[in-house]
Amino acid sequence: RVLAPDGRALVSAWSTAHDRFDETEGFDTTVEWTLPGGEPVDRFYHIYAPDEFEADLAQSDLALLEWELSSGNCYATVAGTGTTE
């Protein structure tokens, strides 16, 4: 909806492959986040299983150009549907 038809974006997400997590299935959690004024707040976050990350991207309207697992995180390069590469 917000990516231009010929645009590209980097999508990243924490993954269950990270050594911080023991789970193998994706799960929802909260992560403490500090606002610019210094106030800590809980922020919703979904921790992806790598296969879940890939499946969600494949089901989107974006073109999945490539994805990788690095340092326990999922990264993907996606493009708008107007990209011909």
Q: pLDDT digits over 56-68, tens only?
A: 999 988 899 999 9
CB atoms within 10 A of CB 62: 20
Rounded Cα distance, 64 and 70, in Å: 17
Rounded Cα distance, 84 and 65, in Å: 11
| Closest-CA residue to 72 (of 10, 22, 37, 2) | 22
In the block, tokens 């789970």 appear at 23
pLDDT per residue as tens digits for the range 17-66: 999 899 999 999 999 999 999 999 999 999 999 999 999 999 988 899 99
The model's pTM: 0.79
Rounded Cα distance, 74 and 48, in Å: 8
**What residue spans of 1-85 are helical by DSSP H?**
50-59
